[in-house]
Amino acid sequence: MKKLVILVLAIALMLVASFAIADGIKVGIINNPPSESGYRAANVLDFETVFSAENGYEVLTYYSLRNDEQLSAARQFINDGVDYLLISAAETTGWDAVLQDAQEAGVTVFLFDRMIDCDPSLYAAAVVSDMAVEGETAVNWLLAQNLEVYNVVHIQGAMGSDAQLGRTGALEAQFEAGTMNKVVQQTATWDEAEAKRIVESVINSGADFNVIYAENDGMARGAVAALDEAGITHGVNGKVIVMGFDCNKWALREVLAGNWNYDGQCSPFQAQVIHEMIQTLENGGEIEGLNEKKQIISVERGFDASEITEDDIATYGLGD
């Protein structure tokens, strides 16, 4: 039934699209649904903005958290004769056959945000974030603060997720090297309230700490609420350095206000890069600057309270 609906929708979309513009570049976009997270909402919006009729595209989209649904949508798009297929897969496996079909049908595939376990020859390029680099950028920033001692409360995301593994890695290396002390390392599984409870319990235990390293903005917010209630100062000129990730607009505003010290970017803005690559291909050019996995790593920054500007918030902030 569902597949039937998808089919009908896809055909309808196709008809509407083909009437709307005669000969745009036909692109199929497969992504996770925007409700997945704030990151995803921004990601979906980014692609819908860049791949628009005004920019000369004829776009088919399909959003699902389920791999099988994404796979059948991809097949449908190939049948519909798209020129390019842009995929952020729900799962890393199971895509070989579809990508093979795409190649045979002459469809160029780009991966974004998430990698797929398959031979790199099956796609033209993959535009992804490197979470480990995000962690390193953040830890390097922290080291550059030249504190006498680093007593870190480390609040982790859902264990085993890419973001958690990447952002934990760099900090864990410091703990092992002895340059930083691990006061507490707990997972709050991305839950803001849980992060608050964790920090509350650290405060109640009387342990001394001067850094909160939370692996996303929400958990950093939870931690800060606990600090506020306990009367512990934080941010610029405060006792505790607060670090978060993801660059939600509201989080960047906290950084700008000096309540937080650092927010690491996890860029959802891959559409522009892909758009440029497609233009290059359309003009007969070659894509350059790929690594051995054909990846292009998104440039991701860390925002420091002393340097951030309103413009940064407008440009890089997610949500509203």
Partner 1 sequence: MGKTEKGKSSFFQKNSQLLVPLIALMLLVIFNLIRDPGFFSIELVNDNAGNPVLQGNLISILNGASELAILAMGMTLVTAASGGQDISVGCLAAIAGSVFIKVLKSGPITPWLVLGGVAACCLVAMCFGAFNGTLVSVFRVQPMIATLILFTCGRSIAYWINGGATPTVESDIVKAIGGFIPGFPIPAPILIVVLMGIFFALLFRFTTLSMYLQAVGINNNAARLNGINAVGVKLLAFVLLGLCCAVSGVIATGRLQLVNHETLLINIEMDAILAVAIGGNSLGGGKFKMIGSVIGAYIIQALTVTLYAMKVSSTDVKAYKAVVIILLVVLGSPVVKRWFGSMRNKLAVAGSRKEAA
Q: How far is the CB of 233 from partner 1 (least distance, A)?
A: 6
> 37 or 55: whose CB is closer to partner 1?
37
Which of residues 143 and 230 has its CB atom nearest to partner 1 in the complex? 230
Least distance (Å) between residue 98 CB and partner 1 = 27
How far apart, in whole angstroms, are the C-alpha atoms of residue 105 and residue 206? 64
What is the smallest separation between the CB atom of 294 and partner 1, expressed in angstroms? 30
Inter-residue contact 152 to 213 (CB < 8 Å): yes
* Identity of the residue, 70 or 164, whose beta carbon is nearer to partner 1 in the bound complex: 164
Nearer to partner 1, 203 or 236 (CB): 203
Alpha-carbon distance of 6 to 21, in angstroms, equals 22
> What is the token pair recorded at 59?
């776009």
Quote the least distance from Cβ 225 to partner 1, whole Å.
5
Q: How many helices (H) and strands (E) does the chain have?
A: 11, 12
114 CB burial (10 A radius; 0-12, 13-18, 19+): middle
- Give the nearer residue to partner 1 in terms of CB position, either 178 or 231: 231
Q: Report, in Å, the least distance between residue 239 CB and partner 1.
A: 11
For residue 194, give the 3-state DSSP assignment: helix
Provide, rounded to whole angstroms, the least separation between the CB of residue 65 and partner 1.
Answer: 11
Q: Closer to partner 1 by CB, 108 or 265: give it.
A: 265
175 burial type by CB count under 10 A (0-12 exposed, 13-18 middle, 19+ buried):
middle
The residue among 189 and 295 lying less far from partner 1, judged by its C-beta, is 189
Cβ atoms of 96 and 123 closer than 8 Å: no
Which residues bind to partner 1, rule: CB under 8 A?
A: 35-41, 159, 184, 186-194, 196-198, 200-201, 203-205, 217-218, 221-222, 225, 227-234, 248, 250, 319-320
Rounded (5°) CA angle 37-39-45: 105
| Nearest distance in Å: CB 230, partner 1 | 6
Query: Minimal distance in Å, beta carbon 37 to partner 1?
Result: 5
Half-sphere exposure of 316 (CA within 13 A, CB side): 23
Cβ neighbours around 207 below 10 Å, total: 12
3-state class of 30 per DSSP?
A: strand
Alpha helices in the chain (DSSP H): 2-20, 38-50, 67-79, 96-104, 131-143, 162-177, 192-205, 217-230, 249-256, 271-282, 310-316
| Residue closer to partner 1, measured from CB, 10 or 223 | 223
